[in-house]
Amino acid sequence: MKCYASILFGMLLIGTGLMRAIEAQAFKPNAFWFCLVTGLLAIGAGYLFRLGKSRAGVLVAVTTSALVISFYMYCLITQPEKDATYRVCVALLAGFAELSLVLLPNKIDQPTK
């Protein structure tokens, strides 16, 4: 499940970079490249989970999620009149969801009888 969540998070990040260009009706290279790089990192984390490299996947996914959350929170706090958009809200919610899903344990230990 972690691999699919990370891949979906990566695709959503790439989509938010493209949405910025659509909102502004002009190419925004900073938003595009930031979202493309972080999206590809998240997709890479998903493939690491799929290959069974869970620790590496968690490290990449947590780093990517923390980067996205901290950047968008900084933008939202410092320039709310400019960055208080649905795109930023979706990226923040997805970042917190990714962080929560990745840090969940794989199996819940059942008490033995």
Q: Summarize pLDDT for 24-82 with one digit per residue, the tens.
A: 787 778 888 999 999 999 999 999 999 989 899 999 999 999 999 999 899 888 887 77
> How much is the pLDDT for 30?
83
Which range of residues forms the domain containing residue 62?
A: 2-103
- Please state the pTM of the whole predicted model: 0.84
The answer to whether residue 112 sits within a structural domain is no
Q: How far is CA 81 from CA 17, 28, 65, 77, 85, in A?
A: 19, 18, 24, 9, 9
Higher pLDDT, 1 or 64: 64
Q: Which helix (H) or strand (E) holds 20?
A: helix 2-24
- In whole angstroms, what is the distance from residue 89 CA to residue 59 CA? 24
| Number of domains into which the chain is organized | 1
* 104, pLDDT greater than 60: yes
Q: Is the dihedral of CA 29, 37, 89, 11 positive or negative?
A: positive
The answer to whether residue 32 sits within a structural domain is yes
The answer to whether residue 12 sits within a structural domain is yes
Tokens of residue 81, six digits:
């009149």
Residue that is written with structure tokens 């891949």 in the block: 7
The answer to whether residue 113 sits within a structural domain is no
The answer to whether residue 108 sits within a structural domain is no
The answer to whether residue 111 sits within a structural domain is no
Mean pLDDT of 7-30: 86
